Amino acid sequence: MAPTVVHVAPHPDDEAVGCPGSLLHLEDRGWHVVSVIASLGFPDQWERRRGEAEEASARAGFEPIFLDPPLGISIGDDLELAANRVATELPPIVEAYGASVVVSPSPHDVHHGHEVVGRGVQRAMETLPSSVRWWMWGVWGDLPAPNVYFPFDEGAMTRMLHILEAYAGELERNDFRRLLTGRAMANAVLGSERVFGFGSASVSPLPYAEVLTEVRHIGGRFMASEAHQLDEGPAPESQFDLDLSPWLESPSAHEMVGRIREVHQDEGADGEVK
């Protein structure tokens, strides 16, 4: 069986924004990429967003799995129920594919839907074998302690943009293509120091980069691997020696002060946002 990575997207398009470069890099090296799409947005968006996710998966070569029914992760939904569904529905998927890496937003990713899914994945990781690695990305909130650096070139960015452009309806609302390029450029400047230590010289001349936080759940603790470039992993267990549990187990800012507001624009039958 091919080595497998399972990505968990809170919304359709998060697999195209979170860390698509790293996923495509693994795919190019023979990995199977399973793309769990947890929600489909508001009910009047389900059909459009599922169609967009299927097109994006086809472009990327990922195998999509849609949670059924779609997870409710809007502010009015039962967010605790949503986290528990991820915690119980993810492990059988990971086990069925013998996946060795799970990827998701961190539980501190600011957007309520991302944080809830991150919490669910965190609980799932506590039940999975300690050999399974958890990669976290940050989109709405940045990672405080990234330890994996993946630099990439213009060709990889072109592929990533083509996948993201399957989400025409979402791009109409907000041009996430500019986020993809802008964030990857910022990571290419800041990433070396954030991953390898402040004061580090740039580790790659490539124009773009992704950063991830990699942990394994070992002995009841979420242990982070030593800083490395993506290709230099996986690290042996002895190199997972930084305990990030205090960060992961702490409440997020929004869990402490309340969730930020959310707006729902009505959508017509033609998929046009009114």
By CB under 5 A, tell whether 7 contacts Zn ion. Answer: no
CB of 111 to Zn ion, least distance (A): 6
CB of 167 to Zn ion, least distance (A): 11
Q: Residue 238 or residue 265: which is nearer to Zn ion going by CB?
A: 265
By CB under 5 A, tell whether 170 contacts Zn ion. Answer: no
In angstroms, the CA 46 to CA 30 distance is 32
Backbone angles phi, psi at 34, to 5 degrees: -95, 125
Considering only 4, 5, 7, 10, the residue that binds Zn ion (CB under 5 A) is: 10
R_g (Cα) of the chain, nearest Å: 18
By CB under 5 A, tell whether 14 contacts Zn ion. Answer: yes
By CB under 5 A, tell whether 183 contacts Zn ion. Answer: no
- For residues 242 and 235, is the Cβ–Cβ distance under 8 A? no
Of 2-10, 64-72, 141-149, 221-229, the window that binds Zn ion (rule: CB under 5 A) is 2-10
Residue whose C-beta lies closest to Zn ion: 11
Considering only 4, 5, 11, 32, the residue that binds Zn ion (CB under 5 A) is: 11
The contact set with Zn ion (CB under 5 A) reads 10-11, 14
